[in-house]
Amino acid sequence: MKISIIYKAILLFNILFIISAESNERVEHKIAVLVNEELITSYDIIQRMKLSALLQNIEITEENNQLLLNNTVDELVHEKLKNEKIQEYNISIEENEYLEFENNFYKRNNLDKELVFNLLNSNNINLIELERLLKNQLSWNKLVNGLFFRLTSVSDLEIDEVISKNPNITIDQARNIVTQRQLDLKSGKMMRDMLNEATIEYK
């Protein structure tokens, strides 16, 4: 991976400083990271950091903000690379696909949609940030499934192993779990390859 690591510490310090001042001042959209010439701004990082903390019910404190910031920057870098691959394969999603995925997201995370919207508004988090996050996840899932689903192979031994650890699930559910594990491995390898080939600069 071609990356200007020497600037990362400076970037993180500057973002933390901006976060501490954000409540009283308008945040500028300064370029923080370049991913293959695609921009990630300080505003993008702060918005996603606050969104992630809200969705995970985590309070941003002096003790955890460095870790949250690192995770957020990595997440946005990965998202930029995923978007490049999504565009390369012309992946698109229909409105009904997105709405179903969104509803499943709220159910899976035991979140109330209206409450989340209210919290976004009260914390000055743009709703578009959440939509961008979910659409990226859905599009990436479609891409990974399209590329690798036919290459997955589930054995009876793998199914039996999953059921032995989860006696209440069905054979079909166990098969889906094994298949998803294989897809996750393929997804992870593709992301590592993209990171190794990417040019990432911290400003």
SS3 content of the chain, % helix, strand, coil (to 5): 70, 5, 25
Q: From first to last of its 203 residues, what are the pLDDT tens digits of the chain?
A: 544 443 444 444 445 544 544 544 455 678 899 999 999 999 999 999 999 999 998 888 888 888 999 999 999 999 999 999 999 999 999 999 999 999 999 999 999 999 999 999 998 899 999 999 999 999 999 999 999 999 999 999 999 999 999 999 999 999 999 999 999 999 999 999 999 999 999 88
Calculate the alpha carbon distances from 62 to 15, 16, 20, 54, 66 in Å: 13, 10, 10, 16, 8
Q: Please answer whether residues 130 and 115 qualify as being in contact, where contact means their C-beta atoms are separated by less than 8 angstroms.
A: no
Sorted by where each starts, the structural domains of the chain and their CATH numbers stand as 2-202 (1.10.4030.10)
Residue 32 buriedness (CB in 10 A; 0-12 / 13-18 / 19+): buried
pLDDT of 154 reads 94
Q: Please answer whether residues 52 and 64 qualify as being in contact, where contact means their C-beta atoms are separated by less than 8 angstroms.
A: no
Cα–Cα dist 15/73, whole Å: 10
pTM for the model stands at 0.84
Calculate the alpha carbon distances from 128 to 40, 120, 145, 170 in Å: 15, 10, 25, 38
pLDDT of 157 reads 95
pLDDT of 28 reads 64
Compute how many other C-beta atoms are within 10 angstroms of the C-beta atom of residue 85: 17
